[in-house]
Amino acid sequence: MLILAIESSCDDTAAAVLEPENRVLSSIISSQNEIHARFGGIVPELASRRHIEMIRPVVDQALSEAGVSLDEIDLIAATQGPGLVGSLLVGFTFAKSLALVRGLPCVGVDHMVGHLLSCLLEPEPPDFPYTALIVSGGNTSLFAVNDPVTFTRLGRTRDDAAGEAFDKVAKLLGLGYPGGPVISRLAADGNPKAIAFPRARLGEHSLDFSFSGLKTSVASYVASQRRAGQTIAVADVCASFQEAVVEVLVDKTLAAAKQTGHQRVVIGGGVAANPRLRAVLGERCAATGLQLFMPSPGFCTDNAAMIAAAGYYQFLGGRLLAADADAYSRSPLN
Ligand code: KG4
């Protein structure tokens, strides 16, 4: 069986071909970073226009790199939501139309589920159940993953997502977009203890997150330094900010695993590519006897291979899309 998957929920046009169980034959990602960088964030209208231009060539490339033709595809999967509706509609409508014309089954995949299952694409995937932290530009949530189609949310951000905080802090420091990769690079040369930025715990037993206070604290610090005519030690600001984010993410993930009693912890989403998060979570899981599973960085950020993996399990469960199914901007899981 061969699955063709399409992902266009935000600013990357992606397509992949996958063979169950989870052998990735191709995974193509066309990034729009260059288009949005000068605006310091994603401009939705520009994103959907670029998806329209790129969807066909990206799908063609995914098929040709996999060495297969459309005639050999057995199932089409596409991200149905959440995300920017204008962006989602391009990939989702393309997938549904292709399925209709070719007489193929089609499944709609929740983008969050893609991230929750992205570890299955690795050579040594986790068994179920596991506790998962999904941490990206749009989401920061903890889930109990019981099997490939059953998820229970344990906590979520009450305001900004962690990746959004990285992007906003980068913008106020004039570092460009996306902020995560550049902040983590600069943080490597900074002192994580230089500035005591706040950690929002939200109560002893809460598994929710909040990053807007931290972002405001960084903004106030930078403004006060500028007012005082001081040069800003950018590497120290990056390292101290990153440490505050990582500490809360790691503490809450371990608390969630304690609550579920799971022996396995999984991370996913763009911020899961952060080397400091990977290192600290690795140390803490090892110290507490938990098994940690992390997707390789290419499967942390948005990709269509994870949508194919999640789509396969939807298909096995008989959850096929009706031709009039619509895209959605908010995930029912969140
Ligand atoms: O999963 P993703 O590609 O798209 C969403 O679904 O949001 O995540 C993108 C987010 C951006 O906010 C980006 O700044 C962040 O992931 N990111 C990182 C790193 N690489 C990407 N954040 C921290 N450290 C990184 N190395």
Closest CA to 242 of 207, 271, 221: 271
User: What is the torsional sign of CA 326, 53, 44, 334?
Assistant: positive
Give the Å distance between the CA of 302 and the centre of ligand 1.
Answer: 9
- Residues 153, 250 within the same domain: yes
Give the Å distance between the CA of 100 and the centre of ligand 1.
Answer: 34
The pLDDT of 14-40, averaged and rounded, is 91
Which residue's CA lies nearest to atom 18 of ligand 1? 180
Residue 190 domain-assigned (yes or no): yes
Q: Which domain holds residue 16?
A: 3-114+302-316
- Residues 98, 150 within the same domain: no
Question: Each residue of 279-308: pLDDT tens digit?
Answer: 999 999 999 999 999 999 999 999 999 999
Predicted pLDDT at 204: 82
- Residues 221, 254 within the same domain: yes
Looking from the CA of residue 161, the nearest atom of ligand 1 is 12
Residue 18 domain-assigned (yes or no): yes
**Separation CA 323–CA 316 (nearest Å):** 19
What is the number of domains present in the chain? 2
Which residue's CA lies nearest to atom 16 of ligand 1? 270
CATH number of 311's domain: 3.30.420.40
Bridge-based pairing of strands 130-135 and 140-147 is: antiparallel
Give the Å distance between the CA of 85 and the centre of ligand 1.
Answer: 19
Residue 324 domain-assigned (yes or no): no
Give the Å distance between the CA of 71 and the centre of ligand 1.
Answer: 35
- Residues 134, 7 within the same domain: no
Question: Each residue of 148-181: pLDDT tens digit?
Answer: 999 999 999 999 999 999 999 999 999 988 899 9
Give the Å distance between the CA of 178 and the centre of ligand 1.
Answer: 7
Residue 82 domain-assigned (yes or no): yes
- Residues 278, 180 within the same domain: yes
Pocket test residue of 36, 136, 242 for ligand 1, highest count of atoms within 8 A of CB:
136
Predicted pLDDT at 206: 95
Q: Give the pLDDT band (50/70/90) at residue 191.
A: very high
Q: CB under 8 Å to 113, separation ≥6 — which residues?
A: 151, 310, 333
- Residues 233, 198 within the same domain: yes
- Residues 137, 268 within the same domain: yes
Pocket lined around ligand 1, Cβ cut-off 6 Å = 10, 136-138, 163, 166-167, 178-181, 184, 269-271, 273-274, 301-302
Residue 322 domain-assigned (yes or no): no
Residue 188 domain-assigned (yes or no): yes
Q: What is the pTM of this model?
A: 0.94
CB neighbours (10 Å) of residue 195?
19
- Residues 134, 242 within the same domain: yes
Looking from the CA of residue 242, the nearest atom of ligand 1 is 23
**Separation CA 203–CA 2 (nearest Å):** 47
- Residues 130, 255 within the same domain: yes
Looking from the CA of residue 275, the nearest atom of ligand 1 is 26
Predicted pLDDT at 22: 75
Residue 43 domain-assigned (yes or no): yes
Give the Å distance between the CA of 74 and the centre of ligand 1.
Answer: 32
- Residues 108, 10 within the same domain: yes
- Residues 71, 179 within the same domain: no
Predicted pLDDT at 177: 86
Residue 103 domain-assigned (yes or no): yes
- Residues 272, 307 within the same domain: no
